[in-house]
Amino acid sequence: MTIAVLTSGVALGVHVPGLLLARRLAEAGVRARVDVLERHLPEARRDLIPESKVAFHRDFRVALAGQRLARRNPAELAEDSVSALLAEWEDEQVDLLVVLSGFWLPAVRRYASARAGVRVHACHVDSTASPSFRSAGWTASAQERHEDVWLLEQNAGGVATTIPVSRAEPVPWSARNGRLLAHGGGWGMGTYRSDAADLTSEGFALDLVAYEWADVVRGDDRNRYFMIDPAWHPWHDDGFPPFGRVAADGRVDYRRREDHHDGFDLTREAIAVVSKPGGGTLMDSLSSATPVVLLKPFGEHEARNAQLWERLGFGISYPHWVAGGKSLAVLEGLHRNLLAARPRALSYPDRLAGLST
């Protein structure tokens, strides 16, 4: 069995889980390839993405407006590129397509209808269908000829299925570094910067992910700054984002691991992540047993994610945490809930590996 894992580079919360799935499958001896949607966009449209990324980072209102626009105007892939890709799938005898971005669905339907025995998994990193699936006309009906896989589906033990970010056990609470990790997802969106400033003024030590040089406060001796290489984009290669700490002189030694994204190492050591509730962030939370202080969501799908994490006792909204006095004991309780739930979540890559035997 050959599996094609179909991601999108406009959202690291979709792309990184796809990379993780491919890594876990490779560890199990399953043949898998990663295909990034933006490699097959017309060049002129792909060239606009970095500009949008900066605009969305600087103003969350622009990001929300852009999300609504994308829902009405789904991505149209270049025909010659798609035809070549489908021929590659045919040559490699791809018989399972794992779709993490709904924008892939037209090409996937075309391939599946032309080749007998092809299976399609619509793999949702959020607790409800994201705008990319809705814009592509996704439905949950059996007529779709696909299987829906929900990585944030609730069961009696917490989350039913996940993609393990790492096989390492969570860092014990007593060994955590006492810092909060603040970020805005792959594109640095949301209110995390203003909330981080408030937390710093109240004595918290933070690790902050910067997305452009203006995010780095020079002379800030209390907080640590990290950065994803701004020149790198997911369609450049199939590696995890180059990531490094910003040194006092402003230089960054970008590195990247082979088995998971480097930012996860910060999540493992933190006492909480302060972030909007993206699906990738919640996957990191479960794997590391690190609670999330939930900021304003990016759309309805992230709002549903936040509701789930609060209901399961894995996270707390920023206003509620503030109203409760920013209690560290509350965070420790959420950590213990995650710790108990983590072993009950089934591994999606292990399930796929079982199908290949």
Torsion of Cα atoms, 3 then 4 then 8 then 12, to 10°: 30
Side chain identity at residue 81, one-letter code:
S
Asked if residue 275 has pLDDT above 90, the reply is yes
Asked if residue 212 has pLDDT above 70, the reply is yes
> Dmax of the chain from CA atoms?
62
- Averaged pLDDT score across all residues of the chain: 89
pLDDT number for residue 72: 46
Side chain identity at residue 217, one-letter code:
V
Q: How confident is the model at residue 329 (pLDDT cuts 50, 70, 90)?
A: very high
Residue pLDDT, tens place only, 81-127: 999 999 999 999 999 999 999 999 999 999 999 998 999 999 999 99
Average pLDDT rounded to a whole number, residues 3-31? 94
Residues 6 or more apart whose CB falls under 8 angstroms from that of 271 comprise 173, 176, 177, 178, 179, 180, 290, 291, 328, 331, 332, 335
CA distance 315 to 337: 10
For the chain, percent of residues with pLDDT exceeding 90: 69
Domains and CATH numbers, the chain: 2-165+346-356 (3.40.50), 173-344 (3.40.50.2000)
Which of 50 and 183 is assigned the larger pLDDT?
Answer: 183
Cβ atoms of 343 and 17 within 8 Å: the answer is no
Asked if residue 50 has pLDDT above 90, the reply is no
Asked if residue 143 has pLDDT above 80, the reply is no
Question: If you ran DSSP here, which 8-state letter would residue 246 be given?
Answer: B
Average pLDDT rounded to a whole number, residues 187-203? 86
CA distance 332 to 163: 24
For the chain, percent of residues with pLDDT exceeding 70: 89
Phi and psi at 271, nearest 5°, equal: -90, -15
Q: How confident is the model at residue 69 (pLDDT cuts 50, 70, 90)?
A: very low
Average pLDDT rounded to a whole number, residues 328-341? 98
Radius of gyration of the chain (CA): 20
Which of 139 and 20 is assigned the larger pLDDT?
Answer: 20
